[in-house]
Structure 1
């Protein structure tokens, strides 16, 4: 790939996100506190949902995913990660096993899997299903879900799902927790969305439920360390050899994340922006017990990982200096949007130590709970120790730039409570 590919992404205009409803429902600070003190409803229905069925339905995921499938029961879900031959992540999302030979997968793996099936090499078919996907998470989430479904739900293991009725409508509740808290994601027919939403919100009044607007919806991913393609990193679907896939996407239904690049990191080759599962903190999901696309590259990387996922805490004084530049006589710096950008961008800033490049800092966001600007970053292992001091080069190429001091912290940043014992 040439320099023109990077320049093309820098020149692209970000798209206002079409999901999550309005910018705010109550207030973004109030909404951010919901997954620490009460619970929230987040609308992820914009994610495309693909049903794959047939004798080879499982095989297509085995051949294209780093995950192991030795144990994958009906009613179980997996976070599947699909890579290129170079071992770079092209798609990731949740895969649900609905029956012996029927599966449902959301987000980018839905598109990638549909593209793979077009080859005709598998005895399987796919179809897009029109669904809603409502996340309910937070300390009060279980009590709310029990009330609205009329079921105990305590027997649902982490990353498993069950069938329940809400306001008489069929739903599947996947236990996950994208805010790092106990949570369920309800899936059902799109035609039932408003009835189910209303029932959840009505039942949730007693539990302090809030709705997440697009101004703050991704802060929970930041605090809980869930890197998201097109936001925290650039998927390898925009890389070399993907011309056929890009042509396919023009025909494929559903909203596509526009590739847009912002930040100070300015590589000559777009491939330098791509991430492996190890970079993104998903190495534990890789199983070398089967052949899959990218296995050879990942086996090599397993012996010598290039990057490690961390959280960076921005120095508050340096952040305020960015805002102070708005009131000076010279050209101000690029702004740090509070709490995070409302348009979909892939952000990549240089992370440095003594002027030496050591990694990439992604889209920053302000956590009202922690009162800090944070970012997920992917840095060299030797600087990943919490407490390490680094600098972030802030400012797009061709604009005023300055260093922001930052401190390495763990990822996830907040305590992970997703796997709590529901019976307790």
Structure 2
């Protein structure tokens, strides 16, 4: 039954992602260097945002998430991970506790939570809200955010938020850092977005702030090892407990033309081969068996059986990558194009990782890091191959096209040093 689904997703035409504003502002190379040398401002306002409120709101999130809620204070954020009954990730993102019975969450958890709440059983309601979500991250981010808010911000713990004012507009400053650097994400009313954005840019000008365009935005997810739904993996939307989910999203949320599409050389036998559990995605520390939750039995079975796949970074061999571009000037049919800094269209990329001719893992959407001068990819490989330096091959080229084995080496994930939690 899953084969026709895979074939349909291979046939889908991916679209350019509507988020992040312009393709480039100061040039993608310059923008990539911003989170190493200065900082960037990125616009994630395209993410769906909902509020959930009611006496059962906390119980709802506990019942549907792998995370523990034994301690979750007002003003705290949590990396929320929600799974299907078979333990595959359905949605992940930030959950913010706004009040005793009021919460906010974005992106995947927004749609999945709304879908589950619509089924009833909880004294809690959801509503979609229109907000801006501006990220400022990099070595100079703290100074920029201090100048814009007039607040010291040094007492804000990682994954906590406080109310602030920017350009006279109220908003929340959430400390996080999707580039693996110190950063804040500002949330507020969408109507106030132009004034807040302009104020952050003005505050950042003396510090060399750069605007982050969509052409290079996902490179920070790659360097910092943040797997992303419908980019590095498929959420479990074809599972039995997701029946009606896609129709629900289409009815209640603006899909902006996005459709799930699969590319790459990996040929899964079942659609679940493109889905992953939290352990495989590198989020095992967030799974707490101190409560009952959707997917618990499946994840307990995974723990008992031992890891099957582990998240790593792959470094593509430079000479082999150059061969892909050289083929554009030869007489043979060129290899499939490797777009840089990363694919321009939104799709689930899955290439076969091979060793001695045998598939031993899956390599996801490749991207070029201008800072490291390498093509990198997040990959999921057998645990015994996860040691940095292990040589493997990535089979490049869609089924039926000209293919090439690209030499690659296993590296750490995150690839770039993680500085998000450093003292302010």
Partner of 2:45: 45
Aligned mates of 1:238, 1:324 — CA distance in 2: 39
Contiguous gaps of at least 5 residues in structure 1: none
Aligned mates of 1:253, 1:412 — CA distance in 2: 32
Partner of 1:175: 175
Give yes or no for the alignment of 1:123 onto 2:123: yes
Partner of 1:385: 387
CA displacement 1:275-332 (0-9 Å, x = unmatched) = 0001100000000000001101111112301111000000000000011111111111
Residues 74-153 of structure 1: matches in 2 within 5 Å?
74-153=74-153
User: For the Cα contact (< 8 Å) 2:249–2:255, is it kept in 1?
Assistant: no
Partner of 1:73: 73
Aligned mates of 2:119, 2:90 — CA distance in 1: 17
Partner of 2:259: 258
User: For the Cα contact (< 8 Å) 1:93–1:106, is it kept in 2?
Assistant: yes
Partner of 1:231: 231
Aligned mates of 1:187, 1:343 — CA distance in 2: 27
User: For the Cα contact (< 8 Å) 1:46–1:255, is it kept in 2?
Assistant: no
Aligned mates of 1:110, 1:71 — CA distance in 2: 22
Identify the range of structure 1 (112-121 vs 236-245) with the bigger mean alpha-carbon deviation: 236-245
Aligned mates of 2:317, 2:239 — CA distance in 1: 34
TM-score, L = length of structure 1: 0.98
Offset at residue 139 of structure 1 (A): 0.2
The DSSP-based 3-state class of the residue aligned with 2:122 is coil
User: For the Cα contact (< 8 Å) 1:181–1:418, is it kept in 2?
Assistant: yes
Aligned mates of 2:185, 2:275 — CA distance in 1: 29
Aligned mates of 1:222, 1:307 — CA distance in 2: 18
Provide the aligned C-alpha RMSD in A: 0.9
User: For the Cα contact (< 8 Å) 1:310–1:377, is it kept in 2?
Assistant: yes
Partner of 1:336: 338
Offset at residue 241 of structure 1 (A): 4.7
Partner of 1:394: 396
Partner of 1:321: 323
User: For the Cα contact (< 8 Å) 1:239–1:270, is it kept in 2?
Assistant: no
Partner of 2:365: 363
User: For the Cα contact (< 8 Å) 1:16–1:342, is it kept in 2?
Assistant: yes
Aligned mates of 1:285, 1:126 — CA distance in 2: 24
Aligned mates of 1:243, 1:177 — CA distance in 2: 34
Partner of 1:283: 284
Offset at residue 254 of structure 1 (A): 2.9
Offset at residue 240 of structure 1 (A): 4.4
Size of the aligned set, in residue pairs, is 422
Offset at residue 237 of structure 1 (A): 1.6
Partner of 2:309: 307
Aligned mates of 1:393, 1:20 — CA distance in 2: 31
Aligned mates of 2:105, 2:268 — CA distance in 1: 33
Aligned mates of 1:139, 1:377 — CA distance in 2: 28
Aligned mates of 2:169, 2:14 — CA distance in 1: 37
User: For the Cα contact (< 8 Å) 2:86–2:295, is it kept in 1?
Assistant: yes
Aligned mates of 1:2, 1:50 — CA distance in 2: 32
Alpha-carbon spacing, 1:265–1:94, altered in 2? closer, same or farther (3 Å): same
Aligned mates of 2:324, 2:240 — CA distance in 1: 36
Contiguous gaps of at least 5 residues in structure 2: none
Aligned mates of 2:422, 2:25 — CA distance in 1: 29
Partner of 1:196: 196
User: For the Cα contact (< 8 Å) 1:39–1:136, is it kept in 2?
Assistant: yes
- Off by >4 Å, runs of 4+ in structure 1: none
The DSSP-based 3-state class of the residue aligned with 2:98 is strand
Identify the range of structure 1 (72-81 vs 241-250) with the bigger mean alpha-carbon deviation: 241-250
The DSSP-based 3-state class of the residue aligned with 1:370 is coil
Aligned mates of 1:260, 1:62 — CA distance in 2: 31
The DSSP-based 3-state class of the residue aligned with 1:343 is coil
Partner of 2:421: 419
